[in-house]
Structure 1
Amino acid sequence: MKKLRVDVWSDIACPWCYVGKRRLEAALARFPRRDAVEVVWRAFELDPSAKRVLDTDVSYAGRLARKYGVPVAKAEAMIRQMTEVGAADGLDLRFDKVRPGNTFDAHRVLHLAAERGVQDAVKERLLRGYMTEGEAIGEPEVLARLAGEAGLDPDEVRAALASDAHAREVRADEDEARAIGITGVPFFAFGGRYGVSGAQPAEALLGVLQKAWDEAADAPEQALAEGAACGPDGCA
């Protein structure tokens, strides 16, 4: 049976990645060959140098203002706009609850989840935990609990996080992202042929899905379009 693989580079600490996931799901729901599409979540750290859990004394708006060099009031307006965009896609983005932190271990858990066949469910749970519930996804025990709720064995998660399990796979994802020029996420690669940067509308993603299906062939990824995304310097 013909198959189509969609690789998505994204980070947990990325509101546009959550929106992009919803839009990809909406596109897949309308794609006639949905059962033949495999979605694989790949690792991308927006801030690899971040501490496990960052100081919460500074608000999300304050961090955003610092990144963009704008007044806090403007950052707050940006957050309101992002919240409205998320709501339109069925997401409850709670920037007032976000607890920023390092996401490397979260990506290791996602590789474990891929081995166990529950990667999408774990990805969803971590995004919701971070973007809606204010979970500190840099903390191993939080990761074990959330991943357990999504189908992984919490004790297996704890054991993996206590070792260097899947660290190599995360680094390989990031090396590949650099090799093909990914600087912001989400980034969607369809069938090893077409690439789309940013949280494009579902209609656009559906169009690329159909094109990749019709023209399935081995070729380097190439960016077709760009949309809203998050990068090391912030989200825009």
Structure 2
Amino acid sequence: MIAPGTIQVWSDLLCPFAFVAVHRLRAARERLGLDDQVHIDHHTFALELFNGPHSRPGTDSEAVGLGQVAPELGFRLWTQPEWTYPSTVMLAAEAVHAAKEQGLRESEDLDYALRCAFWQESLSIGHRQVILDVAKGAGSVDVTALAEALDDGRARATVMADHAVAITDAIQGSPHLFLPDGTNIHNPGITVHWEGPYASGYPIAHNTDLTWPDQLLTQAVAASRGE
């Protein structure tokens, strides 16, 4: 059950398509003055549990492809030493869930800050200290409480419960968005195809619809009002 005034987002933190979707949704929400009326409830579609450790060549090539359709996001190739690349972001996913103890706003602020840290700053967001440093910059997050949650592992079961759903037909991939009224959309507003194999070829992406954030936000507000 999805709460009224909530948009549920299933995604992976290293998925560039999810970064675009989350950014566009947040930007539209602010532009429409709906920050206090619509909240984002993040759930984990852990690509590494499907495909194994995250591949730097894959994300580098996707940064180039998605940077062409969303240049405002500041996508960058990985610029730090190879050994610091986050082949796993499970702890970061746990952090996003753990932050929900403080509220959905804290969770979504941390989620967005982690995505920016990876795609724009080449920070190794799989590392505990990096996660906590990013959380400090997120502003709304109680970092001490977050550290306690990470250290006792209380959100690990939630991440794995999400994976149990992700492996079913209910979730098509990252990102997949759901509304209380049953509306759902996978990878909204973008189409993509690959030239050559994944990680050695490159993606060709196209914007197909820039109106979807406004539409989903309007539906979410209407559902919360019982309209």
Cα–Cα, structure 1 residues 180 and 27, in superposed 2: closer, same or farther, change >3 Å?
Answer: farther
**Residue identity (%):** 23
In the alignment, residue 146 of structure 1 is paired with which amino acid? Answer: V
Corresponding residue number in structure 2 for 1:207: 215
Superimposed CA distance per residue, residues 110-146 of structure 1 (whole angstroms, 9 cap, x where no aligned partner) = 1121211311211111001111111111111111211
Cα–Cα, structure 1 residues 192 and 101, in superposed 2: closer, same or farther, change >3 Å?
Answer: farther
Cα–Cα, structure 1 residues 214 and 147, in superposed 2: closer, same or farther, change >3 Å?
Answer: closer
Cα–Cα, structure 1 residues 143 and 79, in superposed 2: closer, same or farther, change >3 Å?
Answer: closer
Q: Distance in 2 between matches of 1:143 and 1:84?
A: 28
1:186 aligns with 2:175: yes
Q: What TM-score results when the alignment is normalised by the length of structure 1? A: 0.70
Q: CA deviation at 1:83?
A: 1.6
Q: What TM-score results when the alignment is normalised by the length of structure 2? A: 0.73
Q: Distance in 2 between matches of 1:146 and 1:79?
A: 21
For 1:120, which of 84, 108, 111 is the aligned residue?
108
In the alignment, residue 26 of structure 2 is paired with which amino acid? Answer: E
Write out aligned runs for 1:1-236 (5 A).
Answer: 3-29=4-30, 31=32, 35-48=36-49, 50=52, 60-61=56-57, 63=58, 79-87=63-71, 90-97=72-79, 99-117=85-103, 118-151=106-139, 152-200=141-189, 201-211=209-219, 213-214=221-222
Q: SS of the counterpart of 2:167?
A: helix
Equivalent residues of 2:96, 2:107 under 8 A apart: yes
**Gaps (5+ residues) in structure 2?**
190-208
Equivalent residues of 1:19, 1:199 under 8 A apart: no
Cα–Cα, structure 1 residues 129 and 207, in superposed 2: closer, same or farther, change >3 Å?
Answer: same
Equivalent residues of 1:193, 1:212 under 8 A apart: no
Q: CA deviation at 1:199?
A: 3.6
Cα–Cα, structure 1 residues 114 and 96, in superposed 2: closer, same or farther, change >3 Å?
Answer: same
Which is worse superposed, 105-114 or 28-37?
28-37
Q: CA deviation at 1:28?
A: 2.4
Q: Distance in 2 between matches of 1:10 and 1:81?
A: 18
How much is the aligned-residue C-alpha RMSD, in angstroms?
Answer: 3.0
Q: Give the paired residue count.
A: 197
Q: CA deviation at 1:37?
A: 1.6
